[in-house]
Amino acid sequence: MHSFAARYASFNVETLVDGQTPSIIPRDTVAWPHPQKFGANPETLADAGFYHNPSPYDPDNVCCFMCGKELAEWEEHDDPFKIHAEKCPKCPWVVLNFAVAGSDVVESSPSTKISPTSNILYEARLATYGPGGKRKWWPHDGRKKHGANSKKMTAAGFIFQPEIDSPEDDTATCLYCETTLSGWESTDDPLHEHSRRPAAKTCAFIIALNTPESPASDESSGAENQHKRVTRSMRRTSQQQQPLTPLNTVPENGEPDAKPKTKRKTAGTKKQKEDVAPAAVVEEKTKTAKPATKQARKRGRPSAAALQVQPLKNIDPNTKKLNAARPYAPKEPVKPREPPKLTESKQDTLFPPNLKLVLDNRYKLIDKLGNGAFGQVYRADDTKHSKLVAVKLEPYNAEYASLRYEIDVYRTLRRGMGGKPFPVGIPEMIWGGSHEGIYRALVLPLLGSSLTSLFRAQKHQLSLGTTLMLVQQMIDRLEWIHDQRIIHRDIKPDNFVMGTGKNSRTLYLIDFGLSKVYRNEEWMHIPYRDGRGFVGNMRYASVNVHLGVEPARRDDLEAVFYVLLDFLTGDLPWRRFENPPESNMIYVTKLTSIQALNFSMGAYYEPEFYQCLWYIRSLRFDQRPDYNYLRATLSALAERKGVGLGECFDWER
- Tell me the catalytic residues: 490
Which amino acid appears at position 630 of this protein? L
Residues facing residue 62 across a β-bridge: 52, 71
519 forms beta bridges with 525
326 phi/psi in degrees, rounded to 5: -60, 125
* Alpha-carbon gap, residue 179 to 182, rounded angstroms: 10
Return the ∠ at Cα 205 (arms to 199 and 206), rounded to 5°. 60
Q: What amino acid is encoded at 359 in this protein?
A: L
* Residue 589 near residue 577 (C-beta atoms within 8 A): yes
CA–CA gap between residue 625 and residue 613 (Å, rounded): 12
381 by DSSP, 3-state: which? strand
Q: Is 152 annotated as a binding residue?
A: no
Under 8 Å between Cβ of 226 and 155: yes
> CA dihedral defined by 632, 638, 644, 645, rounded to 10 degrees?
-40
Long-range pairs for 628-631: beta carbons < 8 A, 24 or more residues apart: 630/475, 630/557, 631/472, 631/475
Q: Which helix (H) or strand (E) holds 382?
A: strand 376-382
Give the containing element (helix H, strand E) for 612: helix 607-617
d(CA 377, CA 461): 27
Instruction: Report how far residue 578's alpha carbon sits from residue 573's, in angstroms, rounded to the nearest whole number.
Output: 11
Residue 584 backbone zone (phi > 0: left; psi -120 to 50: alpha; other: beta): alpha
Of how many residues is the chain composed? 653
Please state, in angstroms and rounded to a whole number, the distance separating the CA atoms of residues 358 and 389.
Answer: 13
CA distance 215 to 221: 10
Q: If we measure between CA atoms, which residue out of 85, 48, 43 comes closest to residue 63?
A: 48
Rounded Cα distance, 347 and 333, in Å: 33
Q: Is the Cβ–Cβ distance between 296 and 173 less than 8 Å? A: yes
**For residues 474 and 479, what is the distance between their CA atoms, to the nearest angstrom?**
9
For residue 266, list its beta bridge partners: 179
Strands 376-382 and 363-371, how do they pair?
antiparallel
CB-based contact 285:79 (threshold 8 Å): no
Task: Return d(Cα 229, Cα 252) in angstroms, integer.
Answer: 37
> Binding site for ATP: what residues are annotated?
392
